[in-house]
Structure 1
Amino acid sequence: MKVGIIGLGAMGRGMAGSLLAAGFEVAGHDPAVSEMFPEHGDAFTLVPSACDLWAGCEAIILSLPTAAVVEAVIGDMLGAAKSGVTIIDTTTSHPDTSVKVAGLLAARGVAYIDAPVSGGPSAAATGSLGMVLGGSEDDIAGVAPVLDAITRIRTHVGGVGAGHALKIINNALCAANLVLGAEAVKLGQAYGLDPQNVITGVNSGSGRSGVTEVNFPRWILSGDFDSGFTMKLMRKDVRLARDLIAEAGLSLSMMGATVAAWDASEPALADGEDFNRIVATVLED
């Protein structure tokens, strides 16, 4: 199976590398990239247009920044679509976009799976991403070898759009836990506790989360702040969560407070900053 990838940033590059390591042929397209993976020789090729991927690929992975970009890229590719190809959309996108794009592709005989990922660039590069999937069981089974090469754990959560809905929910919870984790550290400091001891103690109890177990030790308390995921990207995801809440007609007070906290961080934290720096808005207040 030959796999195409559209979008060769940190995530797309990592997934391409994992696929090559697993023995796949990979073709990539990204206008910002001129060379990649010379060590893999002919197993990796860069193509000048996304439409060129239809010809030789059985699966095409999307690793793009926003739902609007996904819709634009698929729109540009649609006229050249080849029946029998499966699109695997790893973008953190809006479920409505997923449903719309899936319908357009289905009319051309192309399957669509929404397959947003977690774990960041390091997990992409080691084939150990977490993935939530929306789509048909048959379509997912048809690209299982591709998914095996890039994921450590994956969960099929429903039809098209379900994966993207759950990914947005997950990221909103991560955004909330970063703020709450920082508040826990600040409260601990008020009682003379070292931040490292606060996090270690929380991780031994029921208050722990992925943020306290991974983000705080790896990127925050270390001072590294180099996760590869930016404030801009997380602000986008938090706003997607805000939109889902509004569209569902719900009033969720904690999620609302999370959205407000991330919106309020804009004057102090530039879009290019690591998303873990949101803790500074609490700890330095």
Structure 2
Amino acid sequence: MTRIGFVGAGRMGAPMVRRLVEAGHQVTALGRTAEKCQAVRDLGAHAVTDLTAVGAGADVVIVCVFTDDQVRQVCTSSDLVSAMPPGALLVIHTTGSPRTAQTVAAGNPAVDVVDAPVSGGPHNIAAGTLTLFVGGSDDAVARAQPVLASYGDPILHVGPLGAGQGVKLVNNALFAAQIGLLREAVALGERFGVDEKNLLTSLTHGSGASRVGEFIAMRGSAAAFVDDTAEFIGKDVEVVREIAAELGGQLGILDDVINTGIRQ
């Protein structure tokens, strides 16, 4: 049994907590309010109201908050990491800058850090089939594997600390760009007199098929899919642009297509 601290038991985090509990781990999760504490208890976990209590005594702490800024607040501007025992493991699921995980690790050498951004949704977590792009040392990733396997498959070790975020950012740029391509394809189909829903369904069987195309076909409309996912896509695209700029580059043609995809 692994003692796990968890921060971010929301849309994505809640089913992770449930799967961790069902796998036999002892989970302590943050709940800022009485209502959220009860939600944590309903998942089978122990609820606490401060970050120090999340980290104290934990073998592994998992952070699954919404933004990179929130990761920095939790991991560098609180006592969470300093409360963790020496040799404990910190897992960051939030999509963000590779430098965030690296900065946390540099400031806390007694704790091992892995970045493990995810691809998939709550239904994948519930099924144990969430894709994880993991960056970190061989030893740290090997230690994280049994815990992450509670809800992750495949678990892809893609390189050193920060590499997981790099892969996820590229993935998200391609995801947004493919939405843009499909919106242009729908517009072309309209000029040819082809119904959007019929076009999207047909493309899933052709050489132009893609996973994004399958998602949009299930929704029945490219614009409706963007409406459903704009909050998440927009956040991730801004992170990609920001990190690319920090590294002295741009997204090039990808950005032109992305702008087509995420417009509303």
1:235 correspondence with 2:234: yes
**CA deviation map 1:108-163 (0-9, x unaligned):** x1110000001112212332111101001111111211111111212111111111
Structure 1 unaligned blocks of 5 or more: 266-280
Aligned residues: 259
Q: Is the 8 Å Cα contact of residues 188 and 194 (structure 1) preserved in structure 2?
A: yes
Deviation at 1:211, TM superposition (A): 0.7
> Percent identity of the aligned residues?
32
1:145 correspondence with 2:152: no
Q: Is the 8 Å Cα contact of residues 95 and 236 (structure 2) preserved in structure 1?
A: yes
Deviation at 1:225, TM superposition (A): 5.5
Deviation at 1:207, TM superposition (A): 1.9
Structure 2 partner of 1:181: 182
Cα RMSD of the aligned pairs, angstroms, is: 2.5
Structure 2 partner of 1:245: 244
Structure 1 partner of 2:83: 80
Q: Aligned ranges for residues 148-163 of structure 1 at < 5 Å?
A: 148-163=149-164
Q: Is the 8 Å Cα contact of residues 128 and 151 (structure 1) preserved in structure 2?
A: yes
Structure 2 partner of 1:278: none
**CA deviation map 1:42-67 (0-9, x unaligned):** x5111111111223321111001111
Structure 2 partner of 1:218: 218
* TM-score, scaled to structure 2: 0.88
1:101 correspondence with 2:100: no
Structure 2 partner of 1:30: 31
Q: Is the 8 Å Cα contact of residues 235 and 262 (structure 1) preserved in structure 2?
A: no
Cα 1:205–1:141, aligned 2, differ >3 Å: closer, same or farther?
Answer: same
The amino acid that maps onto 2:103 is K
The amino acid that maps onto 2:139 is D
The whole-number CA distance in structure 2 between the counterparts of 1:96 and 1:62 is 16
The whole-number CA distance in structure 1 between the counterparts of 2:155 and 2:246 is 27
* TM-score, scaled to structure 1: 0.82
Structure 2 partner of 1:66: 67
Cα 1:134–1:56, aligned 2, differ >3 Å: closer, same or farther?
Answer: same
The whole-number CA distance in structure 1 between the counterparts of 2:31 and 2:212 is 32
Structure 2 partner of 1:16: 17
